[in-house]
């Protein structure tokens, strides 16, 4: 349903007109949306685009996260998950433990394994290749969405390989696509505070560009609610939009709400529901070339994720089962959601639950 421009906030009327006419928003307009507190106008506009693209469909999947290790050579200010190799809380799953988790997930109907972990200084690249090979051999029907650009960069350095060669070996071993983590906020100023030592925003984009050119799809994230400005959020999204224009390789954008507990940034308050919803709507509006916007219930909570469906999100992620990264930083959500909980949540918001696979190729409306 179109918004009546005569009755909407006059400060946003030109943006409303542009969105209705299918004209792309520019940087200044993105910043103006963030500066506005007219959440309902922004949300209805986000929903206008979301329903134009997906009607009443709301997507979810049955998946499982596996975090093979929390040992990491980095010491990011944003992270409560990473541990030094000598820490009593450090862990690294064996291949057998990883295969067991994968097999358990498949029995529970998972179509995807989401695999992301720390940069462990003692595990060789071959360990990750054996992991993918072993999982693919046991579970050929399960999509392996694994390793962020940060991990790909680390593997390449470990074995003195180019990014292309690293990705080729991962693909041969069974890698199907890449998750969107590690993007944080691309601005160097912010990365110096929240993830000093991690690859730069430019390097993240370069690695993802190579992956897309090699035929791999990926997601993209933006970590918000710490020290970033509205300008830096918009610049982050525009860099992603530009890359998507070039490659078309992104499937889903996922704004991630920062959790500060047990991190050096623990003085920062948690994000507000207002900001969570606004980020969903604005990302739908700016990222007009991203097919999907995901509200990740683990981070924003089930209630905000449900509301997000009316503000521009068309996806609420999956069953997850085991999540350590956000829970180490104080997330109050459960670690798992059943398929029927996800379905109920979507229906209660007036949308049609559609179970998807990772790349949205097989879409099954739930009876
Ligand atoms: O890259 C780390 C973020 C990401 C914290 O692609 C934190 O489908 C909040 O990328 N508070 C990993 N966030 C999660 C991720 C993801 C999740 C779900 C689906 C997909 C997908 C990707 O979590 C990290 C980092 O940006 N993170 N620490 C924290 N304290």
The string of pLDDT tens digits covering residues 31-69 is: 999 999 999 999 999 999 999 999 999 999 999 999 999
319 belongs to a structural domain? yes
Contact 340, 326 (CB under 8 A): no
Partnered with residue 254 across adjacent β-strands are 221
pLDDT in tens, 66-123: 999 999 999 999 999 999 999 999 999 999 999 999 999 999 999 999 999 999 999 9
What's the gap in Å between 9 CA and the centre of ligand 1? 34
- Helix-then-strand count for the chain, H and E: 15, 11
Residue 346, in any domain of the structure? yes
Question: Domain range for residue 70?
Answer: 27-354
CB 187 within 8 A of CB 235: yes
**Total number of domains constituting the chain:** 1
Environment class of 340 (CB within 10 Å of its CB; exposed 0-12, middle 13-18, buried 19+)? exposed
Edge-to-edge strands, sheet with 57-61: 315-318, 57-61, 352-356, 363-365
C-alpha 147/C-alpha 164 separation (Å) is 15
Q: What share of the chain in percent tops pLDDT 90?
A: 96
Q: Are the C-beta atoms of 358 and 61 separated by less than 8 Å?
A: yes
Q: What is the CATH number of the domain that holds 282?
A: 3.20.20.70
**Does residue 147 carry a pLDDT above 70?**
yes
pLDDT at 5: 53
CB contact at 8 A, 322 and 343: no
153 within domain boundaries: yes
CA of 18 to the centre of ligand 1 (A): 32
Mean pLDDT of all residues belonging to the chain:
96
Q: Quick one: pLDDT at residue 335?
A: 85
Confidence bin at 4 (pLDDT 50/70/90): low
Q: Indicate the DSSP class of residue 265.
A: T
Span 306-341, pLDDT tens digits = 999 999 999 999 999 999 999 999 999 988 899 999
pTM: 0.97
Q: Which of 63, 266, 326 to mutate to test the pocket of ligand 1 (most atoms within 8 A of CB)?
A: 326
Contact 276, 311 (CB under 8 A): no
State residue 182's pLDDT score: 98
Q: Whose CA is nearest to atom 28 of ligand 1?
A: 79
- Confirm whether 35 is domain-assigned: yes
Identify whether 270 is part of a domain.
yes
268-316, pLDDT tens digit by residue?
Answer: 999 999 999 999 999 999 999 999 999 999 999 999 999 999 999 999 9
């Amino acid at each position: 349903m179109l918004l009546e421009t005569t009755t909407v906030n006059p400060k946003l009327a030109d943006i409303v007109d542009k969105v209705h006419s299918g004209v792309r928003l520019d940087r200044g307009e993105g910043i103006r949306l963030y500066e506005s507190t007219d959440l309902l106008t922004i949300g209805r506009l986000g929903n206008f685009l979301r329903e134009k693209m997906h009607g009443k469909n709301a997507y979810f999947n049955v998946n499982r996260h596996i975090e093979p290790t929390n040992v990491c050579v980095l010491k990011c200010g944003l992270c409560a998950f990473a541990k030094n190799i000598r820490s009593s809380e450090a862990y690294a799953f064996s291949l057998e433990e990883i295969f067991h988790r994968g097999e358990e997930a498949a029995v529970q109907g998972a179509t995807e394994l989401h695999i992301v972990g720390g940069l462990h200084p003692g595990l060789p690249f071959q360990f990750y290749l054996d992991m993918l090979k072993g999982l693919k051999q046991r579970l050929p029907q399960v999509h392996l969405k694994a390793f962020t650009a940060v991990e790909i960069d680390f593997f390449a350095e470990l074995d003195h390989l180019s990014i292309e060669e690293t990705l080729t070996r991962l693909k041969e071993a069974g890698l199907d696509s890449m998750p969107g983590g590690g993007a944080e906020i691309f601005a160097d100023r912010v990365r110096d505070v929240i993830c000093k030592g991690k690859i730069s925003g430019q390097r993240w984009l370069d690695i993802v560009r190579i992956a897309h050119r090699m035929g791999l799809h990926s997601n993209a994230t933006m970590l918000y609610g710490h020290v970033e400005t509205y300008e830096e959020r918009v610049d982050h999204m525009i860099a992603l939009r530009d890359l998507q224009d070039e490659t078309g390789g992104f499937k889903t954008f996922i704004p991630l709400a920062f959790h500060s507990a047990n991190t050096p940034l623990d003085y920062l308050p948690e994000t507000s529901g207002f900001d969570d919803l606004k980020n969903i709507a604005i990302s739908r509006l700016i990222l007009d070339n991203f097919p999907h916007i995901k509200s990740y219930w683990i981070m924003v909570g089930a209630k905000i994720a449900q509301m997000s469906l009316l503000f521009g999100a068309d996806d609420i992620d999956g069953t997850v089962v085991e999540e350590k990264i956000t829970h180490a930083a104080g997330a109050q959500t459960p670690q798992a959601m059943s398929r029927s909980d996800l379905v109920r949540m979507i229906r209660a918001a007036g949308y049609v639950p559609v179970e998807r696979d990772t790349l949205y190729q097989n879409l099954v409306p739930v009876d």
